[in-house]
Structure 1
Amino acid sequence: MRNSLADVVAAGLRVLDAQGLENCSMRRVAAELGVQPSALYHHVPNKQSLLALMADEIVLGVGPRVTAAGAAAGDPRRLCVDLREAMLAVRDGADVVATATAFRLGRSRVEDSLAQLVGFDGARTLLLFTFGHAQSTQTHRQAAALGALVDIADPAVAADAGPAAPGEPEGVDVTRPVAPISDPAADLDASFGRGLDIILAGLAAAARPARTALPVR
């Protein structure tokens, strides 16, 4: 049976989730479908177009909430939270969506929704922050899964901490205990929320009309 465009996009997402963006090639997507790579070009002209369709699929459920009365409830903060969660649900999802948006591929439906709420510049600022934070989060999670994160409170790490700080006496023991820091993974969601609040507060302040100073008598 001949594959549809939806089949090709679904296969691309499976390859992405299994092997990451770096290894998500047209050849591997074709192999996932059991066809020759040339068969994919009946549906998409190139890999970039396929990635754009994959990005659209990743963010498919992201959009304004609809109230009981049928009206769209505009909440830019909720949109950004939903967008980040959708990207984090797929391996390298943030890279795919950010790349598609940067090259103006796909429909940019989320950006259009944000622009209606906070203007074009506000939407771009929120998107760039959301993309960057999601990409950083995915990198951290992948590093943690590979055991590549270093605990700076580990005595073995402290022993390689280098020379003592300026002003410390010669012969100071550089293997002294290092104060542990909180696990960054525990604060990633909270830091994203704080960043959104800062940006939205700035946008709200910029939208308020400037007060005219009263003359001093």
Structure 2
Amino acid sequence: MSYRRGDVVERALVVLDERGLDGLSMRRLAADLGVQPGALYHHVASRDALLALVADELLARGRRASEVVTWDAELRLAAAELRAAMLACRDGAALVARVHALGLGARGPEQRMADALRRAGAEDDLARVGARSVMHYVFGHTADEQLQRAEARPAEGRPDGAPAEPSSGDFHLGLTLLLDGLAARLP
């Protein structure tokens, strides 16, 4: 059977969700598709290139059409969409953060945030650093949330003093603190 790049990415998302980032290898994916590992290299140059395609697809699925007028509402929406997209798949935060750090993909949300800050009057440095700071906050918070969910035991079995799962409220409060700091620096 012949596969297209989209088929490979789609199956990679399934493997990621079933086995996690460490379990998503070219060999595993090829076995799931019923092809030799070398056949995948017709579609992607490397595992990192595959991860970039998977991360971009994950983010595209999380994007909603919107018309936001204020810079802070745009950043809030972009951060919430990024978080939701990463939470939609096992190890989604680790995947997107890795691809982003390697400069291979997952740049859409950061660019969107920087553009919103520039429209609000931010100089290029503030727009760049502000957007990157929000991205790192979302990556860190979401990765922590996924890790805690993966290791969570039933509430009644949780030992006294064990931290509870982070809440959506925690995420939004932290984001508000960041946006307040950015607002103080805008003209």
TM-score, with normalisation over the residues of structure 2? 0.86
Q: Is the 8 A contact 1:17 1:91 kept in 2?
A: yes
Residue 82 of structure 1 deviates from its aligned partner by 1.2
Residues paired across the two proteins, number? 175
Identity %: 39
* Distance verdict in 2 for CA 1:140–1:190, change over 3 Å: same
Partner of residue 51, structure 1: 51
* Distance verdict in 2 for CA 1:87–1:15, change over 3 Å: same
Distance 2:42 2:16 in 1: 21
- Which structure has greater helix proportion? 2
Higher relative contact order (CA 8 A, sep 6+): 2
* Distance verdict in 2 for CA 1:103–1:54, change over 3 Å: same
Residue 146 of structure 1 deviates from its aligned partner by 8.8
Q: Secondary structure in 1 aligned to 2:105?
A: coil
Deviates more, 1:30-39 or 1:74-83: 74-83
**Aligned with 2:133 (options 125, 132, 135):** 125
**Pairwise CA RMSD of aligned residues?**
2.2
* Distance verdict in 2 for CA 1:26–1:72, change over 3 Å: farther
Q: Which runs of 5+ in 1 are unaligned?
A: 154-180, 209-217
Q: Secondary structure in 2 aligned to 1:38?
A: helix
* Distance verdict in 2 for CA 1:13–1:64, change over 3 Å: closer
Q: Is the 8 A contact 2:59 2:106 kept in 1?
A: no
Partner of residue 123, structure 2: none
Distance 1:65 1:205 in 2: 29
Partner of residue 19, structure 2: 19
Q: Which has the larger radius of gyration?
A: 1
Q: Is the 8 A contact 1:51 1:96 kept in 2?
A: yes
Q: Which runs of 5+ in 2 are unaligned?
A: 118-126
TM-score, with normalisation over the residues of structure 1? 0.74
Matching of residues 1-217 of structure 1 within 5 Å: 1-63=1-63, 65-67=65-67, 75-106=74-105, 108-118=107-117, 119-144=127-152, 150-152=158-160, 184-185=164-165, 187-208=166-187
